[in-house]
């Protein structure tokens, strides 16, 4: 990992910031998990739990964002090990591991993908807010897609009817209900951070 000449941010600082943001994200996920949501089998949303990963991805690029997201994914998978007991077969377990955890949360590391698209804007907020908002939207859509795939394959047995249309509707409704809220919360949180702080400096400041 090369040091940025513009901000003089070296690999040790990137690693340290990533560790702090991952820890913050894990803490926010853990606190959110304590709140009883109305869904019977998981599917709760978090209180800004995804925002720290999106920020790391925006600030230091995908090479920092994706590893940070994968650490969060592994933590969530460990915390959700009981879900593997509800499925049988290596194929089903692999789908759960990938589409409910590793890929589903790993895509959060792409949150900074639009940074260069708005790099020419005059102010930090003008550069950061649209890039963070779009990045948050895309990664949430990608995460929803992962959960949807898992829903129509591994978890299709929970649908009220075995017909393919019923299974698709079940997965759309179930996963869409909490991911819509998660998406709104993530975008709002990312916009708030992008509006108040300058993420392009060596040290994050107003």
d(CA 127, CA 113) in angstroms, rounded, equals 13
Query: Has residue 204 been placed in a domain?
Result: no
Classify burial at 168, counting beta carbons within 10 Å of its beta carbon; exposed 0-12, middle 13-18, buried 19 or more: middle
Q: How many domains does the chain have?
A: 1
Which domain does 97 fall in, by range?
11-32+43-196
d(CA 168, CA 184) in angstroms, rounded, equals 23
pTM higher than the cut 0.95: no
Q: Are 132 and 111 in contact (CB under 8 A)?
A: yes
Query: Has residue 178 been placed in a domain?
Result: yes
Query: Has residue 134 been placed in a domain?
Result: yes
Give the other-Cβ count within 10 Å of 58's Cβ. 27
Query: Has residue 131 been placed in a domain?
Result: yes
Predicted pLDDT of residue 58: 97
Query: Has residue 138 been placed in a domain?
Result: yes
Predicted pLDDT of residue 37: 63
Give the other-Cβ count within 10 Å of 137's Cβ. 17
d(CA 175, CA 29) in angstroms, rounded, equals 17
Query: Has residue 88 been placed in a domain?
Result: yes
Query: Has residue 2 been placed in a domain?
Result: no
- CATH number of the domain within which 21 lies: 1.10.1760.20
d(CA 83, CA 6) in angstroms, rounded, equals 46
Predicted pLDDT of residue 36: 66
Half-sphere exposure of 5 (CA within 13 A, CB side): 0
Query: Has residue 77 been placed in a domain?
Result: yes
pLDDT per residue rounded down to tens, the chain (206 residues): 443 445 578 899 999 999 999 999 999 999 987 776 665 555 678 999 999 999 999 999 999 999 999 999 999 999 999 999 999 999 999 999 999 999 999 999 999 999 999 998 989 999 999 999 999 999 999 999 999 999 999 999 888 888 899 999 999 999 999 999 999 999 999 999 999 999 988 888 77
């Amino acid at each position: 990992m090369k040091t940025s000449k513009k901000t003089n941010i070296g690999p040790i600082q990137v690693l340290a910031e990533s560790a702090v943001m991952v820890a913050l994200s894990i803490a926010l996920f853990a606190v959110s998990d304590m709140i009883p949501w109305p869904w019977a089998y998981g599917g709760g949303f978090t209180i800004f739990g995804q925002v720290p990963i999106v920020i790391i991805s925006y600030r230091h690029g995908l090479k920092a964002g994706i590893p940070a997201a994968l650490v969060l994914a592994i933590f969530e998978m460990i915390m959700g090990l009981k879900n593997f007991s509800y499925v049988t077969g290596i194929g089903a377990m692999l789908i759960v591991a990938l589409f409910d955890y590793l890929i589903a949360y790993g895509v959060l590391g792409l949150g900074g993908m639009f940074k260069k698209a708005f790099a020419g804007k005059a102010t930090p907020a003008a550069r950061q807010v649209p890039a963070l908002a779009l990045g948050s939207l895309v990664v949430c859509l990608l995460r929803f897609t992962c959960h949807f795939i898992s829903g129509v394959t591994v978890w299709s047995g929970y649908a009220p009817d075995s017909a393919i249309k019923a299974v698709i509707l079940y997965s759309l409704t179930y996963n869409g209900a909490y991911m819509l809220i998660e998406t709104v919360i993530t975008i709002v949180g990312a916009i708030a951070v992008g509006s108040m702080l300058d993420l392009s400096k060596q040290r994050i400041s107003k």
